[in-house]
Amino acid sequence: MDADKELHGLYHNDFRILNGKLLEHYSFRDELRKTLYYIQQSVIYKRLSPKMLRNSFLMYWEIWSAKGKL
């Protein structure tokens, strides 16, 4: 990858595509979209600090992963 910079971009693009396919496969795409929308609205209306935002996302992630979807 050091020799060919284009290869580096293609490599990361493949992982972006894979991540999207995994979200769809495990039926998490819509749930993630709703969560990100909620976080966005929280930031806009409640003016959450970055630390509060991070903690909210981590808490949601722990709940989701405890459901056995990971």
- Residue 35, classified by CB atoms within 10 Å of its CB into exposed (0-12), middle (13-18) or buried (19+), is middle
Please report the pLDDT score of residue 45 as a whole number. Answer: 64
Amino acid at 30: D
* 27: helix, strand or coil: coil
Please report the pLDDT score of residue 65 as a whole number. Answer: 73
Domain limits of the chain?
A: 5-69
Instruction: Read off the pLDDT of residues 11-69 as tens digits, 9 standing for 90 and up.
Output: 888 888 888 888 888 777 888 888 888 777 776 666 667 787 788 778 777 777 776 65
Please report the pLDDT score of residue 56 as a whole number. Answer: 76
Please report the pLDDT score of residue 48 as a whole number. Answer: 67
The answer to whether residue 70 scores a pLDDT higher than 80 is no
Confirm whether pTM is higher than 0.85.
Answer: no
